[in-house]
Amino acid sequence: MCLFAAAIPTFLCMLLLNLPLYAFQSKAQRSKTMRVQIPLGINQSSWRKRIPRDNPLSVEKVALGRALYFDKRLSIDGTVSCATCHDPALAFTDAKVVAVGGHDRRGTRNAPTVLNSVFSQTFFWDGRARSLEDQVKHPLLSSFEMGMTNETNLIARLASVPEYQRQFKRVFKSEGLTMDTIAKAIAAYERTLLSGNSPFDRFITGQKTAMSDAQKRGWELFKGKARCIECHKYSPQSPFFTDFEFHNTGVGISDAGLDELLRSFAAAAKDKSGTALAHSADFSKLGRFAVSLRQADIATFKTPTLRDLELTSPYMHDGSLRTLIDVVQFYNRGGNPNRYLDKRMQPLQLSDVEVNDLVQFLRALTSDDVLRQSQTTTPQTRAAVPF
């Protein structure tokens, strides 16, 4: 039970209990850009550059964004929040094959982690959003996700909570409570969700005993024979194990029926947006093509980060691979053939020992901090339908 319950509203009580001590600074201090602990392996300057000028971080804004992130009232039936599919107890994923939204509507794609999303240039598996603020709006208003298809209804529901009215006025001044400020607050919170401080980070900065011998062999394979680093790029400046680009690896697609699928898509696209078609069981497999309409993008999907991979199964955009060994074996055989397959997808001829070493290396990308949070956080649950 909240210790402050007798003195202040439950909403504000939750904010206070989840803020660090610097939340209790003066108003002037709180309005300044807040300090965020940057983990080992993440470049602080790079993080700072990803904070947009029109949405600077502050303690109060991040606290408001966090409250919204966990609030199931943002969904049509009051059963799910952002955290339902991006759960801190599961490294900000949901352990499901595909996401399940309000009214138990099943989506078509696996929920990716929100960790380090501040560094992404596009969002969603097909890259249809260009900023975190834009990304936030999509699930809120998607009938397949949180289901609030009408902005007016969402704003009215939050405005019915007096503490939200006060918090939005305090944080956003004259802007108050709008769809844009809802997105700004949640995006501000998400920009503080960072992952680093893994065995690999300690190894690469000089602690040679931080990784096992098998993991060190796996790192060499990752850079060499296995060629993982060609798409899952790593550098001290961009340590996220992704090129942030889109590739066709053959997951969920084949040449059989593809021409008919493309004809059906062209007909459907006359009446529906790429966002709507992305949630279609048939058209979802076309990936970024639904957004760009470029032939080169047929069945391409965004390269995911490999950080915290052992905590975020199942894998691939459709959640079709259950284990890290499944993933490595998939690439070892060169993916699934189709005429748009990325030319870099070739059989790797890794031995069983090499497959194991590569898997062990991938486990070295797990953040100690994220692992600890996963082990000590109560998993999210879906609420009984209150609306």
Mean pLDDT of the chain: 91
CATH of domain 199-253+299-366: 1.10.760.10
Burial (CB count within 10 angstroms: exposed 0-12, middle 13-18, buried 19+), residue 244: middle
The reported pLDDT for the residue numbered 11 is 37
On the question of pLDDT at 5 being above 50, the answer is no
Cα–Cα distances (Å) from 69 to 5, 114, 186, in that order, read 22, 12, 6
Q: In the structure, what pLDDT confidence band is assigned to residue 33 with cuts at 50, 70 and 90?
A: low
CATH of domain 10-195: 1.10.760.10
The residue among 17 and 209 whose pLDDT is bigger is 209
pTM of the complete model: 0.91
The reported pLDDT for the residue numbered 281 is 84
**Residue 277 and residue 290: Cα distance in Å, rounded?**
7
The reported pLDDT for the residue numbered 16 is 38
User: Each residue of 232-291: pLDDT tens digit?
Assistant: 999 999 999 999 999 999 999 999 999 999 999 999 988 887 777 888 888 999 999 999
The reported pLDDT for the residue numbered 383 is 82
The reported pLDDT for the residue numbered 35 is 83
User: Each residue of 53-109: pLDDT tens digit?
Assistant: 999 999 999 999 999 999 999 999 999 999 999 999 999 999 999 999 999 999 999
- The answer, yes or no, to whether the previous bond of 314 is cis (omega within 30 of 0) is yes
The reported pLDDT for the residue numbered 246 is 98
Residue with tokens 């997808």: 345
The reported pLDDT for the residue numbered 46 is 96
Contact predicate 89/380, CB 8 Å: yes
DSSP class of residue 305 equals: P
The reported pLDDT for the residue numbered 149 is 81
Q: In which residue ranges of the chain is CATH 1.10.760.10 found? A: 10-195, 199-253+299-366
User: Each residue of 108-166: pLDDT tens digit?
Assistant: 999 999 999 999 999 999 999 999 999 999 999 998 899 998 999 999 999 999 999 99
DSSP class of residue 22 equals: G
Percent of the chain with pLDDT over 90: 85
Q: What is the largest CA-CA distance in the chain?
A: 66
